[in-house]
Amino acid sequence: MTLRVLCVFLLSGWLSVSAAALPIPENGPALRIQGSNTIGAELGPALVEGLLQEQGLLKIHRETPDTANEQRLVGQTAQGQRVIIEVAAHGSSTGFAALKNASADLAASSREIKDSELLALQALGDLKSPAAEQVIAIDGLAIILNPANPLEQLNTEQLARIFAGEVKTWEELGSRGGAIHLYARDDQSGTYDTFKELVLSRRGKSLSSAAKRFESSEQLSDAVSNDPQGIGFIGLPYVRQAKAVAIADGASQAMLPLNSLIATEDYPLSRRLFFYLPPDTQNQWVQALASFAQSPEGQAIVAASGFVSQTVQAMSVTPNALMPEGYQSLSRHAQRLTVNFRFAEGSASLDNKARQDLARVLDYIKRNGKTERAVTLVGFGDLKDDPARADLLSKLRAMAVRRELVRNGVVMREVRGFGALMPVATNSADEGRIKNRRVEVWVY
Q: For residue 99, is it within any domain?
A: yes
pLDDT of residue 385: 63
What is the arithmetic mean of pLDDT over 19-47?
Answer: 91
- Give me the torsion for CA of 225, 189, 137, 68, rounded to 10°: -80
Confidence band for 432, pLDDT divided at 50, 70 and 90: low
Do 362 and 377 sit in the same domain of this protein?
yes
Do 412 and 431 sit in the same domain of this protein?
yes
pLDDT for residue 194 is more than 90: no
Q: For residue 253, is it within any domain?
A: yes
Do 290 and 338 sit in the same domain of this protein?
no
pLDDT of residue 16: 39
Residue 326 phi, psi (nearest 5): -60, -35
CA 368 to chain centre: 26
pLDDT greater at residue 342 or residue 208:
208
Weakest mean pLDDT among 221-230, 323-332, 339-348: 339-348
pLDDT of residue 324: 92
| Helix H or strand E segment including 240 | none
Weakest mean pLDDT among 353-357, 370-374, 424-428: 424-428
Domain final residue pick, 286, 304, 322: 304
Domain final residue pick, 234, 261, 288: 261
- Write the CATH number for 70: 3.40.190.10
pLDDT of residue 18: 42
DSSP letter at 173?
Answer: G
pLDDT in tens, 276-320: 999 989 999 999 999 999 999 999 999 999 899 999 999 999 999
pLDDT for residue 175 is more than 80: yes
Rg (alpha carbons) of the chain, rounded to whole number: 22
Do 234 and 159 sit in the same domain of this protein?
yes
pLDDT of residue 348: 64
Q: For residue 224, is it within any domain?
A: yes
Do 62 and 126 sit in the same domain of this protein?
yes
Can you tell me the distance from the alpha carbon of 337 to that of 335, in angstroms, rounded to the nearest whole number? Answer: 7
Confidence band for 13, pLDDT divided at 50, 70 and 90: very low
Confidence band for 1, pLDDT divided at 50, 70 and 90: very low
Domain region containing 218: 140-261
pLDDT of residue 2: 46
Do 122 and 167 sit in the same domain of this protein?
no
Q: For residue 365, is it within any domain?
A: yes
Confidence band for 423, pLDDT divided at 50, 70 and 90: confident
Full DSSP string of 372-394: BT-EEEEEE----SSHHHHHHHH
Do 18 and 111 sit in the same domain of this protein?
yes
Question: Is there a contact between 103 and 263 (Cβ–Cβ < 8 Å)?
Answer: no
Q: For residue 411, is it within any domain?
A: yes
Can you tell me the distance from the alpha carbon of 46 to that of 246, in angstroms, rounded to the nearest whole number? Answer: 30
- Write the CATH number for 406: 3.30.1330.60
pLDDT of residue 125: 96
In a 3-state reduction of DSSP, which class is residue 161?
Answer: helix
pLDDT of residue 9: 41
pLDDT for residue 40 is more than 60: yes
pLDDT of residue 250: 83
Full DSSP string of 52-105: HHHTT-EEEEEE--SSTTEEEEEEE-TT--EEEEEEEES-HHHHHHHHHTTS-S
The chain-wide mean pLDDT, for the chain, equals 91
Question: Is there a contact between 118 and 246 (Cβ–Cβ < 8 Å)?
Answer: no
Do 63 and 150 sit in the same domain of this protein?
no
pLDDT of residue 12: 40
Do 170 and 215 sit in the same domain of this protein?
yes
Number of domains within the chain: 3
Do 128 and 152 sit in the same domain of this protein?
no
pLDDT of residue 350: 83
Do 436 and 322 sit in the same domain of this protein?
yes
Q: For residue 108, is it within any domain?
A: yes
Quote the percentage of the chain above a pLDDT of 70: 93
pLDDT for residue 252 is more than 90: no
Do 94 and 154 sit in the same domain of this protein?
no
pLDDT for residue 431 is more than 80: no
Q: For residue 2, is it within any domain?
A: no
pLDDT for residue 17 is more than 50: no
What is the arithmetic mean of pLDDT over 358-386?
Answer: 91
List CB contacts of 101: < 8 A, sequence separation 6 or more: none
List CB contacts of 220: < 8 A, sequence separation 6 or more: 183, 184, 185, 214, 232, 234, 238
Q: For residue 100, is it within any domain?
A: yes
